[in-house]
Amino acid sequence: MSIFVDQQTRLVVQGITGRDGSFHTRQMLGYGTKVVAGVTPGKGGQVFDGVVPVFDTMADAVAETRANTSIIYVPAAVAASAIFEAADAGIALIVCITEGIPVLDMTRVLPYLHERGARLIGPNCPGLISPSRSKVGIIPGNICRPGRIGVVSRSGTLTYEIVHQLSGAGYGQSTCVGIGGDPLIGTSFIHCLSAFQADPDTDAVVMIGEIGGTDEQLAADFIQQAMSKPVIGFIAGQTAPPGRRMGHAGAIIAGSSGTAAEKMAAFARAGIAVMKRPADVVTLLKERL
């Protein structure tokens, strides 16, 4: 099994004819993802690469193709509108790759999705992949292997590094999820941890956090109280100076609770094996399994 995406995923790409949308659509098609539609206003009736029909609206795309998942590759100024349109069309899982969406836009998006029962992954994320089943986003499929280790991360690049370490040591992945590094995101660590705990084909979880906020501490509490599967953790930004944003919009230390040291201490208290560097993941996993 896997979480969130699998062979039943029917994907529509919002922004399919743009530079990023077209490039990554070809990558997803090549991986075997069922890309059933694309949406670009004004270009309805075209067929992308002779394979994927393009529609003017999400409503038309979903009605014609029974898509159940969307991925968004549109500029930040219109990304919130694209999320609203996907939810209105009945899409259950929305993945937003776009970076730089205003926080004010997200304060309107998140309650709207909650009312409609739709899940958002992102924004500012690499998406997710269930190896050999479905790839929705920009995580390189060639470094992933099917297996029984779940991966959830705030960092795209560190996701790739951890997956590379796991695959090289023979530990395949059930699903890898990049939840995004913005201050307001649709799917938290806890949502993913809960799903991995319930997945009978996931034996352990690797969680990659970073400085800023308290999401990692909340996740540590959840792990201590509700998870029986082993969790290996890493915190990026261990040498970051206070008050300076490091990469992601949410990666800024604004108090003692946002520091790497506090997050790592919370992990240790919860019984999470803590990596000092990504290369430690294999050693720690072997000790826990």
Indicate the domain borders of the chain: 11-121, 139-288
Q: What is the arithmetic mean of pLDDT over 84-104?
A: 97
Tokens of 37: 């539609």
| 100 has pLDDT over 50 | yes
Structure confidence by residue, pLDDT tens digits, 126-140: 999 999 999 999 999
Backbone region of residue 117 per phi and psi (left: phi > 0; alpha: psi in -120 to 50; beta: other values): left
- The sheet with strand 47-48 has its strands ordered as 47-48, 52-55, 35-39, 11-14, 69-72, 93-96, 119-121
What pLDDT was estimated at residue 237? 66
Q: Picking from 62-71, 212-221, 233-242, 249-258, which range would have the lowest pLDDT averaged per residue?
A: 249-258
pLDDT at 82: 98
Q: Do domains 11-121 and 139-288 have the same CATH topology?
A: yes
Per-residue pLDDT averaged across 232-247, rounded? 67
When the pLDDT of each residue in the chain is averaged and rounded to a whole number, the result is 92
User: Do residues 151 and 175 make contact, with C-beta atoms less than 8 angstroms apart?
Assistant: yes
Give the pLDDT of residue 77.
Answer: 96
Name which CATH class applies to 11-121.
Answer: alpha beta
* CATH 3.40.50.2300 at 139-288, yes or no: no
pTM confidence score: 0.93
Among 155, 165, 161, 264, residue whose Cα is nearest residue 219: 264
Q: What confidence category does residue 67 fall into, taking pLDDT thresholds of 50, 70 and 90?
A: very high
Tokens of 200: 């009978």
Q: How confident is the model over 98-115, as a mean pLDDT?
A: 96
Does pLDDT of 241 surpass 90? no
Mean pLDDT of 215-229: 95
Q: Is the pLDDT of residue 211 over 70?
A: yes
Residue 286's Cβ-count burial label (10 Å; 0-12, 13-18, 19+) is exposed
114 is catalytic: no
Segment (H or E) for 164? helix 156-168
